[in-house]
A = this chain, B = another copy of it.
Amino acid sequence: VTGTTTGLPTTDHASSTTNEVSPTLNHQPPATIADLTESELISHVTTRLPASPDWMVVGIGDDAAVVEPERNRLEVLSVDALVEGVHFDRRFTPAAAIGHRALAVNLSDLAAMGASPRLALLSLALPGDLPLAEFDSMIGELTAFAARCGVVIAGGNLTRIAGPMVLDVTVVGTVKRRRALTRGGARPGDALYVTGSIGAAAAGLQMLQADHTAASSCVNRYLYPEPRIRMGSLLGRNRAATACMDLSDGLADAVRQIASASGVGATIDAGALPIDPDARDWFGRHGLDAVVESITRGDDYELLIAASPRARGRLAAAVRHGDAPLTRIGSCTADSALSLRLGGSDTPLPRGYSHFR
């Protein structure tokens, strides 16, 4: 979908009356995206993009993108949406963080499949009163993050919405044949590992909800999650994992999904969980159970991994070359029970929460 360009009419909405006496005389209101045509806005995106790679046969500006597939690789595709008011609150989520997260949640899905990202398509539905500065900031961070991750923006769509802003991102990556990591390959006796640390994003969100200007490492983890792209692709490549999933809906949910897809049970050792120290401190000071908060809240874009005990060497190699530590947090069992081991006794694993209902 395209629009027609008729110059830069950013002053169309500015008052040109000369009998204005208020202190705002000659101060034009800040430009909003409604002051620009669709093609002007698109050029705010395209001018930020690096040169197209050779494999991009037709890029942005035609009805569709045309790309040369990568030889001897399978393709991995995922789509995810961020909806204002559901996945982020504009009162305390800077535009740059919105742009970052829209891509991060998708790259995390590719990482969970052991895939390397290749390209992304953006579909943005934006309210007309969005300040142009916020649009630029959102797009600036999104395109910079994409470039840093080697992701080519191959196309997109821009439309108005009379309501919450929606950012839909589709990512395409590749993985070698028989190297894709699914949720369904875990077996009884496999160990369960998690990358990095958990709980920080949930604590960061609570800090922002309490104080919209809060700043801390937890806030940063919530606003600018770093998907485990390198770790995912290493684990896929060296066949270290039997199953993998990202923690977008929380660790408890991920354990449940892998167990269900693999037909196994699981026991998680609460004492082994790599809970972020600052998050643990925050939860403690607010009378919250750090374990429950850290495993039932979403927004940690870490990976949950199942691996055979025989794969310890390959896991260690992935950690050596990867971008995150791995912590063993439990194991898969032959029955179907999901337990949390806490101080020597087992309780049922808490449920995550459903976004929809």
In the complex, which residues 153-200 of chain A have their Cβ closer than 8 Å to any Cβ of chain B? 154-164, 166, 168, 170, 172-173, 175, 180, 182-184
Contact assessment for B87 and A65 in the assembled complex, using a CB-CB cutoff below 8 Å: no
* Chain B contacts for A37, CB-based, 8 A: 354, 356-357
Band of interface residues on A: 35 or more
Q: How many copies does the complex hold?
A: 2
Return the contact of A354 from the options B3, B63, B109 (Cβ within 8 A).
Answer: B3
Contact assessment for A160 and B67 in the assembled complex, using a CB-CB cutoff below 8 Å: no
Give Cα A244 to B354, complex, Å: 45
Report if A110 contacts B (CB, 8 A): yes
* Chain B contacts for A160, CB-based, 8 A: 83, 86, 355-356
Contact assessment for B64 and A162 in the assembled complex, using a CB-CB cutoff below 8 Å: no
* Chain B contacts for A293, CB-based, 8 A: none
Shortest beta-carbon distance from A306 to chain B in Å: 14
Q: Which stretch of A45-53, A246-254, A263-271 is in the interface?
A: A246-254
* Chain B contacts for A164, CB-based, 8 A: 161-163
Contact assessment for A78 and B65 in the assembled complex, using a CB-CB cutoff below 8 Å: yes
Give Cα A257 to B62, complex, Å: 9
Return the contact of A86 from the options B76, B161, B184, B354 (Cβ within 8 A).
Answer: B161
Shortest beta-carbon distance from A101 to chain B in Å: 13
In the complex, which residues 1-55 of chain A have their Cβ closer than 8 Å to any Cβ of chain B? 1-4, 33-39, 41
* Chain B contacts for A158, CB-based, 8 A: 356
In the complex, which residues 61-101 of chain A have their Cβ closer than 8 Å to any Cβ of chain B? 61-69, 73-81, 83, 85-87
Interface of A toward B, CB cutoff 8 Å: 1-4, 33-39, 41, 57-58, 61-69, 73-81, 83, 85-87, 109-110, 112-113, 115, 119, 121-123, 125, 128, 154-164, 166, 168, 170, 172-173, 175, 180, 182-184, 244-246, 248-249, 253, 256-257, 261, 351-357
